[in-house]
Structure 1
Amino acid sequence: MGFAVCVFCASSSRIDAKYLDLATQVGTELAGRGHTLVSGGAQVSCMGAVARAARAGGARTIGVIPEGLVSVEISDEDNDELIVTPDMRSRKGEMDRRSDAFLILPGGIGTLEELFEVWTARVLAMHEKPVVILDPYGVYDPLRELMTGLMDQGFARAKIFDAIGWTGSVDEAFDLLERSQPRIEPTAEDYAEAEI
């Protein structure tokens, strides 16, 4: 049975076409597996590509966009449901609430912010929803190295990688999302290290 997959991805129009192709593949695969798409609600760049491909395959799409970006990002009125929130914080909260899993594609600072929020919450057992990074082109390789370095220096524990899947394959990304990931039990040290 399908579930709601939140896809975090780029809204930039200056990216290479291969990232748009990846977003299209994700939307097609999502629809083929019977899932619902939750996305940032814009019709531009990867956000638009994943939503169009999902709808073309028969998937339900839910877009969530903050009021201040409706005209800037050009909201995707073709979504089955388009939710306009007052601000970015409420946008992320609504996307989280409506999603059963998170898939992160290559993107910029906004995508990174979304990734870190759901990743941290999973490490702290604030949710049990699968979190998967799909990165066939190595965009996030420096991030992986950074996080490994933080572990090596004692700023994070190995369980940060237990809380996330990392792949370069669309098929494997959805396989990971569909498999139940083990529950992570946080310790007092984990909360302290989260610097919250």
Structure 2
Amino acid sequence: MKYDVIDARISPVGRLALLSKSEVAKLLDTSKGGLYRLLRNCSLAALNSGSTLDDGKELLERYQSFEIRVIQQERGIKLEVLNAPAHAFVDGKMIKGINEHLFAVLRDVIFVSDEIIANPIFDLEISDGITNAIFHILRNANIMQPKGDPKLVVCWGGHAIKRREYDYSKEVGYQVGLRGLDICTGCGPGAMKGPMKGATIGHAKQRINNGQYLGVTEPGIIAAESPNPIVNDLVIMPDIEKRLEAFIRIGHGIIVFPGGVGTAEEILYILGVLLHPENKHIPFPLIFTGPKSAKEYFEEIDRFILATLGEQAKKRYTIIIEDPQRVAKEIARGITQVREFRKQHKDAYYFNWLLKIDDEFQRPFNPTHENMRNLVLHADQDKHLLAANLRRVFSGVVAGNVKDEGMRAIEKYGHFEIQGDAKIMAHMDSLLTSFVEQNRMKLDGKKYKPCYKIVK
């Protein structure tokens, strides 16, 4: 099938406007380091904003001829795009929000390459070094608000949710916006777009003109979850682990909407962090919510958490079904507790330095067939470490479902094999099966073909 494309040259709007000659040369060099490929693929995803396509591999194949070039000029830079998706333009001119996203991609790709990875100041082999790097990436993106009160609500949930669940996420976002709170999501469609859309109405009614709708993503997922049109701040983190840490360092509370394996991965990440003994006293409001159609989804996750991580994990979250106003009241009350705690302990409102994150949650996990097969999935370990390994299972399934590299690995080598304690594997099999039965694995409505096999 042929897709409409457009060629254009665009100038930055309030974003990165200057690059050195060496930075431009590195971006244009297709033979070394893969920086051009990273810029190209993330830029294509940004240009695909608003699409319902959740297949990174298909997006890259649809627009194989797409190219992006940096044009150095005396007064700054321009970006030239060739064979770009036509829906990113109106009457031949690129949509302003997409323009901003493109230059945000360029900003983060350059900064991470030159100032983080190539900088000996950042020791990415140690926990503090990773957290420090995350802080600098977020500060460079200018998304933290040091003078404001805590008010950033992180919303997680699936991009492939039912219509009623999407509408419900808007209703919650509206109630959150009425209370003057901002929204941070993974930037894509579905449960990532709904709360932002609702919050815009809530903010408008309260005459809040500077609401923040922050999208945090990473190169492996952005092609499957292109930025939705409401995102007004976009940040590209280097990998999924740094993305997840960024969420809980800058967020003041989390609302989880229904989703699939990606949402289960996020839930296990935050629970694993909160289960660390050093975080026992730190308040962090965590709410799972959805309409009546989501009740079964959260009941299955609740059972899985209780069976694998125990009662202590279950105490760290609240499940609220079909009550947007209560959700907003609870998250606002929880954020008030966060404010008082941070004030008492002299911790920053804009970045949660006190939260202890074990390096098991920070070390990038590459879901190869060998790594998936060798995951340590037994009960004879600390609960927060078990949560880290369970999180990796779901990260691998996400990769096999929607990420370009993961999907190609499945095509080449077959299913990921997941093995461990019999009881844990039984609960894992039951949970994943329920996701399939509830049609929570894919957006396109096609029959789901599992990328994994539970070895009992």
What TM-score does the superposition give when structure 2 sets the normalisation length? 0.37
In terms of fraction of residues, the more helix-rich structure is 2
How far, CA to CA, are the matches of 1:140 and 1:106 in structure 2? 7
1:57 counterpart = 2:202: yes
Partner of 2:331: 177
User: SS of the residue aligned with 1:128?
Assistant: coil
- Output the CA distance in 2 between the equivalents of 1:192 and 1:73: 33
Q: Which residue of 2 aligns with 1:37?
A: 183
Cross-structure match for 1:135: 290
| Match in the other structure for 1:17 | 163
Per the TM alignment, residue 156 of structure 1 is displaced from its structure 2 partner at its CA by 4.2
Question: Which residue of the partner structure matches residue 91 of structure 1?
Answer: 243
Count residues with an aligned counterpart: 181
Contact 2:179 2:332 in 1 (8 A): no
What is the CA distance between 1:77 and its match in structure 2?
5.1
Q: 1:115 to 1:147 in 2, by over 3 A?
A: closer
Contact residue 154 and residue 251 of structure 2 kept, 8 A: yes
**Aligned residue in 2 for 1:107:** 259
Percent identity reads 17
The amino acid of 2:169's aligned partner reads A
Mapped to 2, the partners of 1:32 and 1:143 lie a distance apart of: 30
Deviations 1:51-82 (A, max 9, x none): 22222332321111113433432213542311
Q: Cα–Cα, structure 1 residues 192 and 55, in superposed 2: closer, same or farther, change >3 Å?
A: same
Q: Give the unaligned 5+ runs of structure 1.
A: 184-190
**Aligned mate of 1:116, from 239, 256, 268:** 268
Q: How many Å separate the matches in 1 of 2:384 and 2:191?
A: 30
Q: Is the 8 A contact 2:165 2:291 kept in 1?
A: no
Aligned mates of 1:69, 1:117 — CA distance in 2: 17
CA contact (8 A) 2:193 2:230 kept: no
Structure possessing the higher radius of gyration over alpha carbons: 2
Partners of 1:39 and 1:62 within 8 A in 2: yes
Higher RCO (Cα < 8 Å, 6 or more apart): 1
Contact kept in structure 1, 2:164 and 2:291, CA below 8 Å: no
- Specify the alignment match of 1:187 in structure 2: none
In structure 1, how many angstroms separate the alpha carbons of the residues matched to 2:213 and 2:305?
Answer: 33
Structure 1 residue 102: Cα displacement: 0.7
Q: Does 1:165 align with 2:313?
A: no
State the Cα deviation string for residues 142-170 of structure 1 (Å, max 9, x = none). 2223334x2xxxx5442222211111122
CA RMSD of aligned residues (A): 2.5
SS of the residue 2:270 aligns to: helix
- Partner amino acid, structure 2, of 1:158: E
Moved more, 75-84 or 99-108: 75-84
For the pair 1:146 / 2:304, whether they are aligned, the reply is yes
Secondary structure (helix, strand or coil) at the match of 1:140 reads helix
Instruction: Give 1:195 deviation, angstroms.
Output: 3.6
Change (3 A) 1:72 1:143: closer
Q: How far 1:2 sits from its partner (Å)?
A: 5.8
**Superposition pairs of residues 178-193 of structure 1, within 5 angstroms:** 178-180=332-334, 192-193=382-383
Q: What residue is the counterpart of 2:384 in the other structure? A: 194
Q: Which amino acid aligns with 2:184?
A: V
Q: For the structure 1 residues 2 and 157, does the alpha-carbon distance in structure 2 shift closer, same or farther, using more than 3 Å as the test? A: same
